[in-house]
Amino acid sequence: MTELNIGDIAPDFTLPTDQGFDMTLSDFRGQKVVLYFYPKDDTPGCTKESCNFNDALPAFEALNTQILGISKCGVEKHKKFSEKYALSFPLFSDKRGTVCEDYGTWVEKSMYGRKYMGIERSTFVIDEEGKIEHIWRRVKVPNHVDAVKSALEG
Please confirm, yes or no, whether 51 is among the known catalytic residues. Answer: no
Of the candidates 46, 51, 73, 100, the residue annotated as catalytic is 46
Residue 54, CB-side half-sphere exposure with 13 Å CA sphere: 18
Contact 11, 79 (CB under 8 A): no
* DSSP line for the chain: -PPP-TTSBPPP-EEEBTTSSEEEGGGGTTSEEEEEE-S-TTSHHHHHHHHHHHHTHHHHHHTTEEEEEEESS-HHHHHHHHHHTT--S-EEE-TT-HHHHHTT-EEEEEETTEEEEEE--EEEEE-TTSBEEEEE-S--STTHHHHHHHHHH-
Q: Active-site positions? A: 46
